Amino acid sequence: MKNHEKSIDPASQKMLDKAYAEGIQTVWDRLEAQQPHCGFGELGLCCRHCNMGPCRIDPFGNGPKLGVCGANADTIASRQLVRMIAAGAAAHSDHGRDIVLAFRAAAEHGEGDYKFKDEKKLLALASEFNIPTEGRTIQEIALDVSDIALDEYGMRGQKLQFTKRAPKVRQDLWTSLGVDPRGIDREVVECMHRTTMGVDTDYVNLTLQGIRTSLSDGWGGSMWATELSDVLFGTPEVVKGWSNLGVLSDKEVNIVVHGHEPTLSDIIVFAARDPELLKKAKEKGAEGINICGMCCTGNEILMRHGVPIAGNFLQQELAIITGAVEAMIVDVQCIMPSLPTVANCFHTKVISTSPKAVFPGATHVPFDEKNAMETAKQIISIAIDNYPNRNQGRVNIPSDRMGYMAGFSVETILGALGGTLDPLLDAIKSGSIRGIAGIVGCNNPKVRQDHNHIALAKELIKNNVLVVETGCAAIASAKAGLLLPEAADMAGEGLAAVCRALGVPPVLHMGSCVDNSRVLVVAAAIANALGVDISDLPLAAAAPEWMSEKAVAIGTYAVSSGIYTVLNSPPPVLGSSNLTNLLTAGAEGVVGAVFAVEADPVKQAGLIIEHIEKKRTALGL
């Protein structure tokens, strides 16, 4: 495959050429080396849940149709799907837990490095949970909120607090199906229990537990991550900034923060402004310190501070290959284990910071949240010391960069609309906006980088569908200029007019992957305003380049919340026709939504538009 076929992004193409010229292996080379992928794995028909196996089911020939224990294709594929959901939910929710703990620490030791930047949001949460506020300090109130948050991880309640934000009909449906999520940790543990050898065998019963676990992510762990991050680091407001590898500087110390949790990246942004560190950078011959983001921790500081974003998932190795990165600081999730090897070809230091994610070959500087500012300064200092090691002769920063407008939290969207959802509802009712689509998720080297994200978004806005995005999808749109108000020129007449009147782009960046919870909140608010269920809305979702187990959890909570969801490729379930039918057809009668699988992004848009029009007709619009 030619380099320009691997990505539509010119900056990525240039760095792929450089990697090839210098003999540096990237994710695309490793994908090629893995061909052909294991067919049993692709179909979800291999199992190694016990030591009588590993077993595999022959889907076509005369080979075994049962594992040693007697498990059939339905059982094996559904157990695997449930474990993928559990892993994805665990990732989002454990991230959420770290935010809850940082929040609690801020409540306990008000003098620490984390402060409550959005007390209004904290008070709103207190009122949602009936926590008394009269005559109490903000710390006392926050402690009560953190008690509730921590209880959500256990099994104190009958169902998670935030599920009450969903329309009543949806809550009743979940209750009648027996899928009310009870405790965030509990659901993940129950998935592991039920998928171990000799427990749950029924693919429908297993899938229902997958649904319950995904709901504990979307309306639980992810939502706590978003809500308390907003309180701690500030609720995003409209910001402008720059995207793509061209944000790296040839004269400054470049530090790329990569991973997912804002506890580290947010404090790095402020630590980098320290005059002592700036002085030190100058002493080392640099003109300054340039903090850039990558993936979702990049999205967190992009949304709150307009920090430049160097790229999305498939650009992590390419950023190092520019030769201009002094340090890549990583925390958790979506960090390729290859980074230290790529960094070895240059002066770049990969600095791991989480006790949960240690990378052989990287420098490990444990991030101490109680000493956040000091640790952040120490890490930046390592990067500054590394600046003189940069070989300017090997530096090649692509000039490609693009501006963005972001920061579309629910609060920002309401603000842009003048404080109420009514103008948006009116635009949907009048048909100038046909509906809303959420495009989310990752990059995957099996798909030309960003191609599906961009082709799908362009087709949707052209057809007057407002697009909301998170994660790597949103970074793809930033690089392609779709997050600029001028992108309204690419939208259909109705959507363009609304965007121009409000001064916003037709593609709204709502944050990191855990911030898909913001999309749920908007969906619930619209459904409540119209007095219908989420599944009745002209609303759909897509993950057109997904790769992570987290995306499986997100897709499942979207469908379980009533949102039709299009994937470019299926999770490993095709070996079970019963499970495949349940996910793509049968679920309609259970949760009012299904998954669809379509590789072509223009056809994906067609499916979404068809769905939106069907829902409009049913609503009498």
Binding-site residue ranges for [4Fe-4S] cluster: 38, 46-47, 50, 55, 69
Contacting Fe ion (CB under 5 A), which of 16, 87, 296, 594? 296
Instruction: Report how far apart, in Å, the C-alpha atoms of 463 and of each of 142, 478, 504, 526 are.
Output: 45, 20, 17, 21
Q: Does 329 bind Fe ion (CB under 5 A)?
A: no
* Range in contact with Fe ion (rule: CB under 5 A) among 76-84, 179-187, 467-475, 490-498: 467-475
Binding partner of 382, given Fe ion, ligand SF4, none, CB within 5-8 angstroms per partner class: none
Output the known binding site for [Ni-4Fe-4S] cluster: 260, 296, 334, 442, 472, 513
Among 8, 71, 89, 325, which residue interacts with ligand SF4 (rule: CB under 6 A)? 71
Helix axes of 275-283 and 372-386: crossing angle, nearest 10 degrees: 10
- Taking the CA atoms of the chain, what radius of gyration do you get in angstroms? 24
**What does the block give as tokens for 61?**
């020939």
CB hemisphere CA count around 473 (13 angstroms): 32
Site for ligand SF4 in 73-92 (CB under 6 A): 76
User: Among residue numbers 43 through 62, which ones bind ligand SF4 (CB under 6 A)?
Assistant: 47-50, 52-55
Among 25, 42, 59, 69, binds ligand SF4 (CB under 6 A): 69
Phi/psi at 250 (nearest 5 deg)?
Answer: -85, -10
- Per-residue CA distances from 344 to 25, 349, 353 (Å): 12, 8, 19
What is the rounded distance in angstroms from the CA atom of residue 568 to the CA atom of residue 552? 12
Paired tokens of 267: 């404090």
By CB under 5 A, residue 527 contacts Fe ion: no
Count of other CB atoms within 10 angstroms of residue 304: 25
Check binding of 471 to Fe ion (CB under 5 A). yes
Please give the Cα distance from 153 to 157 (Å, whole number). Answer: 10
**CB of 190 within 8 A of CB of 89?**
no
The nearest distance, CB 196 to ligand SF4, in angstroms, is: 8
C-alpha 545/C-alpha 507 separation (Å) is: 17
Q: List the x/- string, 348-377, binding to Fe ion by CB under 5 A.
A: ------------------------------
Query: CB of residue 442 vs Fe ion: minimum separation in angstroms?
Result: 7
Closest to 343 in 3D by CA, of 355, 335, 331, 353: 335
- Which of Fe ion, ligand SF4, none does residue 619 bind (CB under 5 to 8 Å by kind)? none
Q: Which does 38 bind (CB under 5 to 8 A by kind): ligand SF4, Fe ion, none?
A: none
Size, binding site for Fe ion by CB under 5 A: 3
Task: Give the chain's length.
Answer: 621
Residue 295 or 421: which CB sits closer to Fe ion? 295
Q: How far is the CB of 512 from Fe ion (least distance, A)?
A: 6
Task: Report the C-alpha dihedral over residues 398, 403, 407, 413, rounded to 10 degrees.
Answer: -140
Q: Which stretch in 145-153, 445-453, 512-520, 561-569 sits in contact with Fe ion by CB under 5 A?
A: 512-520
d(CA 104, CA 147): 8
Taking contact as CB under 6 A, which single stretch among the options 65-73, 173-181, 397-405, 515-523 is the one that binds ligand SF4? 65-73
Helix ranges (DSSP H) in 306-437: 316-321, 339-344, 372-386, 410-416, 422-430
Q: What gap in Å lies between CA 19 and CA 537, rounded to an integer?
A: 46
Under the criterion CB under 5 A, does residue 306 sit at the interface with Fe ion? no
124 binds ligand SF4 (CB under 6 A): no
Q: Which does 50 bind (CB under 5 to 8 A by kind): Fe ion, ligand SF4, none?
A: ligand SF4
Per CB under 5 A, which region of 207-215, 246-254, 495-503, 511-519 contacts Fe ion? Answer: 511-519
Amino acid 610 reads E
What is the smallest separation between the CB atom of 569 and ligand SF4, expressed in angstroms? 24
Q: Which residues carry a binding-site annotation?
A: 38, 46-47, 50, 55, 69, 260, 296, 334, 442, 472, 513
- Among all chains, which residue has been given the structure tokens 């009909």? 169
CB 349 within 8 A of CB 327: yes
Choose from ligand SF4, Fe ion, none: what does 71 bind? Cβ within 5-8 Å by kind: ligand SF4
What string marks each residue from 189 to 208 as x (binds ligand SF4 by CB under 6 A) or -?
Answer: --------x-----------
Q: Applying CB under 6 A, does 125 fall inside the site for ligand SF4?
A: no
Contact status, residue 247 vs residue 400, Cβ threshold 8 Å: no
Name the minimum Å distance from CB 199 to ligand SF4: 10
SS3 46: strand
The nearest distance, CB 87 to ligand SF4, in angstroms, is 18
Cβ 67 to ligand SF4, closest distance in Å? 2
Angstrom CA distances, 205 to 27, 384, 573, stand at 37, 55, 16
Task: Single out the residue of 4, 29, 59, 68 in contact with ligand SF4 (rule: CB under 6 A).
Answer: 68
Contact residues for ligand SF4 (CB under 6 A)?
47-50, 52-55, 67-69, 71, 76, 197
Contact residues for Fe ion (CB under 5 A)?
296, 471, 513
